[in-house]
Amino acid sequence: MTVPELGEIFELKAELNSDKKEKKKEAVKKVIASMTVGKDVSALFPDVVNCMQTDNLELKKLVYLYLMNYAKSQPDMAIMAVNTFVKDCEDPNPLIRALAVRTMGCIRVDKITEYLCEPLRKCLKDEDPYVRKTAAVCVAKLHDINAQLVEDQGFLDTLKDLISDSNPMVVANAVAALSEIAESHPSSNLLDLNPQSINKLLTALNECTEWGQIFILDCLANYTPKDDREAQSICERVTPRLSHANSAVVLSAVKVLMKFMEMLSKDLDYYGTLLKKLAPPLVTLLSAEPELQYVALRNINLIVQKRPEILKHEMKVFFVKYNDPIYVKLEKLDIMIRLASQANIAQVLAELKEYATEVDVDFVRKAVRAIGRCAIKVEQSAERCVSTLLDLIQTKVNYVVQEAIVVIKDIFRKYPNKYESVIATLCENLDSLDEPEARAAMIWIVGEYAERIDNADELLESFLEGFHDESTQVQLQLLTAIVKLFLKKPTETQELVQQVLSLATQDSDNPDLRDRGYIYWRLLSTDPVAAKEVVLAEKPLISEETDLIEPTLLDELICYIGTLASVYHKPPSAFVEGGRGVVHKSLPPRTASSESTESPETAPAGAPSGEQPDVIPAQGDLLGDLLNLDLGPPVSGPPLTTSSVQMGAVDLLGGGLDSLIGGPNFVTPPAATVPANLGAPMGSGLSDLFDLTSGVGTLSGSYVAPKAIWLPAMKAKGLEILGTFTRQVGSISMDLQLTNKALQVMTDFAIQFNRNSFGLAPAAPLQVHAPLSPNQTVEISLPLNTVGSVMKMEPLNNLQVAVKNNIDVFYFSTLYPLHILFVEDGKMDRQIFLATWKDIPNENEAQFQIRDCPLSAEAVSSRLQSSNIFTVAKRNVEGQDMLYQSLKLTNGIWVLAELRIQPGNPNFMLSLKCRAPEVSQHVYQAYETILKN
């Protein structure tokens, strides 16, 4: 901010105090001009405020403008202006009264607010509607500064009375103010709408300005009619808004109609009429400028997914114009595919073929992809789509060929054994593929149809030469394709499969690739029959629409038509920050028919939100590859000989890498299929997991926390997961409760952990034996081990988990209690304890206080022992009980503890010493948990 020269301020001061009105006005204009360009003219505050005493409206406006700007930095001076406000609120001129009340709302100074309550109360009951409508908005502003004051003064009740005002603009502003206040206080029931108040709103709707109409329509959208007759009468009175010139009004009206249509029976004549009335306004929105078109198209995308019948005859308006910007083109393409049906597919394909010869690369790619999606969606057109794609491949335009190959792969998945004759054409273009997705698709095709391609081994070998330069996606596909080829033609491809397995397991540092390589290796070397059943299993057909928005989310987004949420296609909670509570909205349940829509508000109460660290996995990381695991049912092959692996099918996909490489009873497969340097067994692998009897001691009753919600149904398309961790007889398990709150059956469950601080990993696949039907719950205990990959997490006990089912892959993270990692042989010898305590440096000692724990030393000792915290020695010093304790974590870290207990005092002192001091805080939390539960 620049400071004007002193002479300038001095001159302005003189002019402001002049007797001539004109001179005064000019001076205030100069002050405002300086303020606008960023000069600091706050020194003139008292002189400008003196100019408020005037009848000249123009001068008053200027002074008020100055006041709004500087009141915050000069709150003590601003109080001087209060008397003038109070006086202006009783001025005979309604414009001045409104101006005073508007400025009062804009001065955000706590000291002043209580002085403004009286004038505001008068203005809310003013005889002039212009003053009342201004005062209504002022209440919302005042509520933002001091909510308690507004409630105490009874302004909210006055606002509610204004909803029945005779003037439509007052009604609209009262609704806007109440909605604004209700948004920041979701729990308060401010807008308790009833049929009478709805009637008043609908009457005001026809006469207020466009912004007023939007406020009223948004308020109507939050109302739930009591039956279908009321819903129909509201729809009839809102329908005329569809022909409004302002697109925001049109979208708000569409939102109300889409919401209330849920309650109308499809057999009603009115339902059909309403569908016909909704199409023209949406089509008209597409003749606006491109930015508005884009917003309209994003909203239409949602509407078409919810009710495709509205626009099914309007395909032509979504055809792309040559001068559309790219963002409009891509959005139109998306909607074209959603509307594609047997009736219009010929038109659509002709258009798409044209688009594929355009110059814009992104657009062409999407157009080629769209042809493939049409083939998958409309079966009768598949033949024409495939021949169109082949014509496009003949153009030899690099990116067109690559996109075409990617979509043909999907067509093969949808219609097996129908179009394989085109494989020869695809193979001719192998050399031109340079994008990972296209290369991966081509490799998949070669592997899947290896028996039909004579030189499949040569083709795959050509990819193998630059194996390490390929992206992960291609490497994984190549590994699977060569294993498929080996299973189909074992004699000719033995060297090839050995080569790819050693490349994947020895020379690669990608854990996904190594894991998959070891799984295949183990399968091939122990049980080729099982390998065949796993690798060459029947693929499920792919579904038509893969990118539909999940139904509960779609219903919520329909309630937000015409807002940012409908443009982002995300609920407001995903992008709105700050303290304002975002309310989840949902469509009303159908009354007239038996269908019921799952409400997104079924996320149960009490879900721990604060303590759960977020997990946002990167696309290509460890968890992302869960999609590519062929997790079929457990494979049971012929019985193995006793000297071979005794772990059966359970371990086929579970377990850490050790188990894949071998445990103590793992016999190296014949040299023909395994390179020599892999023979040495590495560590005990999973053997201890299956030999549970060797644990020290009997069944120890370690404390088990009650199950908490780890994954609410809202975030996982209807799958709700509750869970806790237990440790018994030396084995850790994750006890899960899965509930299906969606409308479809869930199958094909699998689970994977990200790398974590203590190497926790599932010791067996997630076994859900029967499909999970809607509203069904199943309890599962998943055994865990600690031989997984290790990576230090923040916080230390954070575990990131991915769960896959037939619908999608879901990610969540949870904090596990550290005491599940305390092992049974954690009791240290007394002499060693003493030596170790002295040996660990003093700066590694951490002190904690355990409050409100009224237990005796014996009770404490036995309770801790059941959770593997062992008392090594006990002394009594000056009436205090001193317990010396030791515990050992699964990764071999020892923690030594000294616990001081003063009889009769419920507060204990705990000192912890450990060579890894970052563990101490979590060990203390374990002490707290065990002793207080």
CATH for 811: 2.60.40.1150
Query: Are residues 780 and 751 located together in one domain of the fold?
Result: yes
The answer to whether residue 804 sits within a structural domain is yes
Q: How far apart are CA 495 and CA 484, in angstroms?
A: 14
Task: Give yes or no: residues 796 and 837 share one domain.
Answer: no
Helical H segments across 378-471, by residue range: 382-394, 398-414, 423-428, 436-448, 456-464
- CA nearest neighbour of 750 among 735, 737, 764: 764
Structure-block tokens of residue 873:
């020695």
Could you give the CA distance from residue 750 to residue 318 in angstroms, rounded to a whole number? 41
Q: Which of these three, 760, 793, 816, is where a domain ends?
A: 816
How much is the pTM? 0.59
Do 914 and 828 sit in the same domain of this protein?
yes
pLDDT in tens, 183-224: 777 666 677 778 888 888 888 888 888 888 998 898 888 888
Same domain, 833 and 892: yes
Q: Of 487, 509, 538, which one is at a domain's C-terminal end?
A: 538
Instruction: List the beta bridge partners of residue 778.
Output: 738
Please indicate, yes or no, whether residues 725 and 811 belong to a single structural domain of this protein.
yes
Residue 473 in any domain: the answer is yes
Domain membership of residue 740 (yes or no) is yes
**Are 741 and 792 found together in one domain?**
yes
pLDDT, position 614: 42
Intervals of the chain under pLDDT 70: 1-6, 186-189, 544-546, 578-583, 590-701
Q: Considering the domain boundaries, does residue 917 fall inside one? A: yes
811 and 839 together in one domain: no
Count the neighbouring beta carbons within 10 Å of the beta carbon of residue 39: 16
Point out the domain boundary residue: 538, 573, 602: 538
pLDDT for the residue 779: 92
Same domain, 832 and 911: yes
Kindly state whether residue 83 falls inside one of the protein's structural domains. Answer: no
* 904 and 872 in a common domain: yes
What pLDDT, on the 0 to 100 scale, is given for residue 578?
A: 61
Give CA–CA dist 768/805, Å, rounded: 10
842 & 766 share domain: no
Q: Kindly provide the b/e burial profile for residues 377-400, where b requires at least 16 CB atoms within 10 angstroms of the residue's own CB.
A: bbeebbebbbebbeebbeeebeeb
Q: Please report the pLDDT score of residue 457 as a whole number.
A: 85
Provide the pLDDT for residue 648. 36
pLDDT value of position 266: 83
Domain count, the chain: 3
742 and 812 part of one domain: yes
Host domain of residue 888: 821-932
| Three-state SS sequence of 773-831 | CCCCEEEEEEEEECCCCECCCCCCCEEEEEEECCCCEEEEEEECCHHHHECCCCCCCHH
In 3D space, the residue among 379, 376, 360, 439 whose CA is nearest the CA of residue 406 turns out to be 439
CA dihedral for 294, 299, 305, 307, sign (positive or negative): negative
In a domain, 264, yes or no: no
Q: Are 803 and 876 found together in one domain?
A: no
Q: What is the pLDDT of residue 671?
A: 38
Residue 830's domain is classified under what CATH number? 3.30.310.10
β-bridge pairing 750-753 and 798-804 = antiparallel
User: Would 48 be classed as within a structural domain?
Assistant: no
CA–CA separation, 534 and 518 (whole Å)? 14
Residue 36 is assigned to a structural domain of this protein: no
